[in-house]
Structure 1
Amino acid sequence: MIPVPRETAERLDAYAAMLLRWNQRINLIAPRDAAEFRTRHVEDSLQLLPLLPENNAPAADLGSGGGLPGLVLALADPGRLWNLVESDKRKAAFLQAAAAELGAGNVTVHPRRIDDVSLPPLGVLTARALAPLTELLPWAARFLAPEGIALFPKGRTAEDELTAALPSWSMAVERFPSRTDPAASLLRISGIRRAGL
C-alpha cells in the first residue's frame, strides 16, 4: 500500500465507488476487475506517486480511460495541474463528472485524440496500457519540456519494447519494480529525443 493522507484516501474511495457505478453503464474497466479494483488499479496507479518530480510542473495522462493513472494521481498530487486526454466521449464525460464531484480543481479533461490536443510544455507524461514505447515516445518528445519525464508502467514486454525503441530514440531509462505485479516494471524516462538529433 502506498501511504496517502486520510483525506486523499477518502477521495480515492469516493472515486472508486463512482467508477464502479458508472462501469455498469459504460465500460471503464473489465467487469472481472471490479472486485479487485482498489488493488489492481488504484494501488497500481499510486505507485507512480513517489516517482513524480518534486516540482509542480504540469502533467498529462494520455488515454486516461477511467482515470488510471491520471485521475488517481491528480487526487493524490493536488498541487500539480493534470491534463487528462481521452478521445472516447463517454469516458471523458466520466472524467469530467468525477473531477467535479471529487473537487479535483487541478484536473482539465481534453475529450479529443492525442494527435489533436494542444498542451503546455509538461513536466510529467503518463500512459498506462495505451500503446508500446515506439508509439508513446513521439508523444513524449512532442509534449514534454526539456527536463520533463515520462512514467510508463509496463508489463512483461518492457524489455522488448525498449529494444524496439532504442534504434530510433535517445533517452535515459530508469526501471523500478512494480509493487502490484511481479512481472511488471515502471519506466521513468528522461532526455527523450530522436536518435541522431
Structure 2
Amino acid sequence: MFHVKQFQEATNANDEALQRLLVYSELLEKWQKKINLVSSSSIVELWKRHMLDSAQLLPLLPRQGCSILDFGSGAGFPGLVLALMGELQVTLVESDQRKCVFLSEVIRKTRVVASVRVQNCRIENLPSGKVDVVVSRGLAPLEKLLVLAERFLRSDSICLFLKGKKVDEELKEIQKNWYMKATKFQSRSDPCGIILKIEHVMRRGL
C-alpha cells in the first residue's frame, strides 16, 4: 500500500515537511469522524489519493515563496499540502465554515500561521488581489474556473488545475471564449487524472 514512506520517496519531502503532513493526516482522520472532509472510501488511500495528488503540483510552481490561491480548499487539497511542503504564501478559500475551522486547526498545529490564511467565503465574494498561482481540485468545469480566476491573474500568473477524463472536452469548449496556453501533465496519483497548467489567460474580444 502507498503510505508515508512511499510518499516521501515519490516527492523527496524533507523530514520537517513530512512531520507537518503527519500531524495533518492525524487531524484529518480525527475530524473525519465529525464532518465529511473526504470520501470514506478514499481515506484509506490518503497518502496517494490526496497527499501525493496535491504534492505533485510543487515542481510546477514558478518559484519558492510564490503566492497561491486555492479555490474550494475543502479539507486542504491541494493548497494546504503545498503550504506544508514549501516556503509559500497560500490563501485557502472555502465556503463551509466547519471545514474552515478544521483548516485553521491544522495551520495552528503545524505552525504555519505566518504563511497560510483561510478565507471563509464564496470565491465570488473574495476581495480582488493578484497572485502568482491559482490552484483547484475537482471544483468546477474549466470555463467556470477561468471566470472565477481571471480577476486574480497577472499576465505572468499561472493556473494549475487537477482535472479528470473530461479535460479535452473542457479545453475544446472554452476555445470560443478564451485565449491561453494550456499544457497537460499526466497525474502521478491517478491514471485517469491530468494536471492542467494554464498560462497567458485572456478573454476573447477584449
TM range (shorter): over 0.9
How much has 1:119 moved relative to structure 2? 4.4
Aligned-partner SS, 1:44: helix
Alpha-carbon distance between aligned partners in 1 of 2:153 and 2:131, rounded to the nearest angstrom: 5
Give the conservation status (yes or no) of the 8 Å contact 1:59–1:123. Answer: yes
How much has 1:55 moved relative to structure 2? 5.1
Alpha-carbon distance between aligned partners in 2 of 1:143 and 1:117, rounded to the nearest angstrom: 10
Aligned-partner SS, 1:84: strand
Residue 101 (structure 1) aligned to one of 103, 109, 130? 109
Could you tell which deviates more after superposition, 109-118 or 50-59?
A: 50-59
Asked if residue 80 in structure 1 is aligned to residue 100 in structure 2, the reply is no
Asked if residue 139 in structure 1 is aligned to residue 148 in structure 2, the reply is yes
Aligned-partner SS, 2:20: helix
Once the two structures are superposed, the pairs formed by residues 122-137 of structure 1 within 5 Å of their partners are: 122-137=131-146
Alpha-carbon distance between aligned partners in 2 of 1:165 and 1:15, rounded to the nearest angstrom: 36
Alpha-carbon distance between aligned partners in 2 of 1:68 and 1:58, rounded to the nearest angstrom: 16
Q: Deviations over 1:24-59 (max 9, x none)?
A: 100100111111111110000000010001153311
Name 2:41's counterpart in structure 1.
32
Give the conservation status (yes or no) of the 8 Å contact 2:23–2:109. Answer: no
How much has 1:10 moved relative to structure 2? 1.2
Name 1:158's counterpart in structure 2.
167
Structure 2 stretches of 5 or more lacking a match? 1-9
Name 1:2's counterpart in structure 2.
11
Asked if residue 58 in structure 1 is aligned to residue 70 in structure 2, the reply is no
Asked if residue 169 in structure 1 is aligned to residue 202 in structure 2, the reply is no
Query: Percent identity among equivalent residues?
Result: 39
How much has 1:16 moved relative to structure 2? 0.8
How much has 1:196 moved relative to structure 2? 2.3
Alpha-carbon distance between aligned partners in 2 of 1:121 and 1:80, rounded to the nearest angstrom: 15
Aligned-partner SS, 2:88: coil
Q: Deviations over 1:72-113 (max 9, x none)?
A: 001111x22100000000001111111111111210100001
Name 2:7's counterpart in structure 1.
none
**AA in 1 matched with 2:108:** A
Give the conservation status (yes or no) of the 8 Å contact 2:128–2:151. Answer: no
**AA in 1 matched with 2:65:** N
Alpha-carbon distance between aligned partners in 2 of 1:195 and 1:84, rounded to the nearest angstrom: 29
Length-normalised TM-score, structure 1: 0.96
Aligned-partner SS, 1:31: coil
Alpha-carbon distance between aligned partners in 2 of 1:119 and 1:72, rounded to the nearest angstrom: 24
**AA in 1 matched with 2:169:** D
Alpha-carbon distance between aligned partners in 2 of 1:103 and 1:93, rounded to the nearest angstrom: 15
Alpha-carbon distance between aligned partners in 2 of 1:57 and 1:145, rounded to the nearest angstrom: 13
Alpha-carbon distance between aligned partners in 2 of 1:177 and 1:141, rounded to the nearest angstrom: 25
Residue 189 (structure 1) aligned to one of 174, 198, 205? 198
Count the aligned residue pairs.
Answer: 196
**AA in 2 matched with 1:131:** A
Q: Deviations over 1:138-180 (max 9, x none)?
A: 1221111221000001110110111111111111111111111
CA RMSD between the two structures: 1.0
